[in-house]
Homo-oligomer: A and B are copies of this chain.
Amino acid sequence: MSTYRPLDATALTAHLATLPALSARLGGSPESWTAREVSDGNLNTVFIVSGPAGSLCCKQSLPYVRVDPGWAMPLERTLFEARWMQTLGAAVGHQIPALLHLDEGLFLIVMEDLSTHKVLRTALIEGDAPAGFSARIGEFVGHAGFATSWRARPFEDLFALREVFARNLSLTRITVDLVMTDPYRQGCARNRWLSPALDSDVAEIQSDSVLHAGVTRLQERFLGTTQALLHGDLHTGSVMVHNEDVRVIDGEFAIFGPLGFDLGMFIANLVMNGYALPDRESWMQDEISLLWSGFCNAYRQSWDGNTGCGDVGSLATPEETTHDQDRFFREVMRDCAGFAGLELIRRTMGFAQAADFAAAPDTAWEAEARRRALHTGRRLIVKSALIEDIEALLDAL
């Protein structure tokens, strides 16, 4: 195991040259390789290394937040991303990049290069996202969610996994603070919003006790429910698309929790894009429908093929299973609506905002899109107990 040091392009290339399997993938001699930094998210450095025969994506943790070096951050997050890939690989196949190498000392993972792909958020902003990508994301959540559920495997397997991901503390702390606490706190220095346009909307959100009760309920659902292994940060920046090929990346926030968290977060990011850009809303509603049906079909299909493999549902006949499925999907939708609401609010007035808003045609449009996001977010949180199917969700947007 190597000793940790942040690798620049030269050091990374030299390190790869010591690893025969990866060198063979790149081909030629190390002198012919090029390393290009493509760091894009908030947390890590990412290089694409290319050689005559192929290319690799190399991601390394830094001991601080990349966009805010004063914010210290344990290195371990890369290990959780690798564990997430290892855990889900068999269930989701090519819906995530292939993990080629993990160095636990350098906190470095090397994976399949997806340079031919585009970050979905960018594609959405630029208007060239292939229609129907959301169905693939729904299938991903369905396959990953069922494979890590009490219905698919004996609880001993899942307790062991729960033990691994229960150590993912620093990124879960970010989720608990940034997604479900800070935006509702008056005077929290991490919040920012379009001012003065949204001042009164923000003040309402921070003093609304009915809303805060809904947020409390979602905090409890997130921390107290271990329904499946979540991606934990499934926004449109965590997805890469290339024609029909849709990949989910960046699983470093992985944690056991309620499935509606992943689905709701993704939906909220579609909604913000739909509000920010003209003539997108009907398209946005279609994508959300596809996400939900993709999820339900994949989850149901896995469930039908697996009855009796896990501890939950081991007694059920096929008929009872169908009944149980209907109840289950209603519950997931309630969570989904609530978590979508949290994401809409925190991406509009919290620390990490959705880039989509800046793509609005003018400032008035942007202000209105942001205002709608806040109001829809509030409505989804407060009414989530009543939102039990996709029609009710679409009506509430």
- Known A-B contacts A159-B169, A223-B150, A224-B226; A213 and B176 likewise in contact (beta carbons under 8 Å): no
* Pair A213/B166 contact, Cβ less than 8 Å: no
Partner of A220, one of B159, B173, B312, B323: B312
* Pair B166/A315 contact, Cβ less than 8 Å: no
Say if the beta carbon of A313 comes within 8 Å of chain B. Answer: yes
* Residue interface bits A207-236, CB-to-B below 8 A is 1, else 0: 001001101110110011111000000000
Query: Which interface residue of A158, A224, A227 has the most chain B CB atoms within 10 A?
Result: A224
Distance in Å: Cβ of A181 to nearest Cβ of chain B: 6
Q: How many copies does the complex hold?
A: 2
Q: Please, which residue of chain B has its CB at the minimum distance from the CB of A158?
A: B223
* Residue interface bits A95-107, CB-to-B below 8 A is 1, else 0: 0000000000000
A156: which B residues are within 8 A, CB to CB? 169, 173
* Residue interface bits A313-356, CB-to-B below 8 A is 1, else 0: 11111011001100100000000000000000000000000000
* Pair B209/A317 contact, Cβ less than 8 Å: yes
* Pair A224/B227 contact, Cβ less than 8 Å: yes
Q: Please, which residue of chain B has its CB at the minimum distance from the CB of A315?
A: B212
* Pair A213/B323 contact, Cβ less than 8 Å: yes
CB proximity to B under 8 Å, residues A156-181: 156, 158-160, 162-163, 166-167, 169, 172-173, 176, 181
Say if the beta carbon of A184 comes within 8 Å of chain B. Answer: yes
A315: which B residues are within 8 A, CB to CB? 181, 184-185, 212, 215-216
Say if the beta carbon of A155 comes within 8 Å of chain B. Answer: yes
* Pair B172/A220 contact, Cβ less than 8 Å: no
A162: which B residues are within 8 A, CB to CB? 162, 166
**Whole-angstrom CA separation of A319 from B225 in the bound complex:** 26
Say if the beta carbon of A368 comes within 8 Å of chain B. Answer: no
Say if the beta carbon of A112 comes within 8 Å of chain B. Answer: no
**Whole-angstrom CA separation of A172 from B160 in the bound complex:** 13
Say if the beta carbon of A311 comes within 8 Å of chain B. Answer: yes
**Whole-angstrom CA separation of A184 from B320 in the bound complex:** 14
* Pair B150/A316 contact, Cβ less than 8 Å: no
**Whole-angstrom CA separation of A148 from B146 in the bound complex:** 29
Distance in Å: Cβ of A313 to nearest Cβ of chain B: 5
* Residue interface bits A191-221, CB-to-B below 8 A is 1, else 0: 0000000000000000001001101110110
Partner of A225, one of B176, B219, B225: B225
Distance in Å: Cβ of A18 to nearest Cβ of chain B: 35
**Whole-angstrom CA separation of A260 from B169 in the bound complex:** 28
* A–B Cβ pairs within 8 angstroms, 30 of them: A150-B219, A150-B220, A150-B223, A159-B166, A159-B167, A160-B166, A163-B163, A163-B166, A163-B167, A166-B166, A181-B315, A184-B315, A209-B317, A209-B320, A212-B317, A212-B320, A213-B316, A215-B315, A216-B312, A216-B313, A216-B315, A216-B324, A217-B324, A219-B314, A220-B313, A223-B226, A223-B311, A224-B312, A225-B225, A226-B226
Given contacts A166-B166, A225-B225, 11 further A-B pairs with CB under 8 A are A156-B169, A159-B169, A163-B166, A181-B311, A212-B315, A212-B317, A213-B320, A213-B324, A215-B315, A219-B313, A224-B312
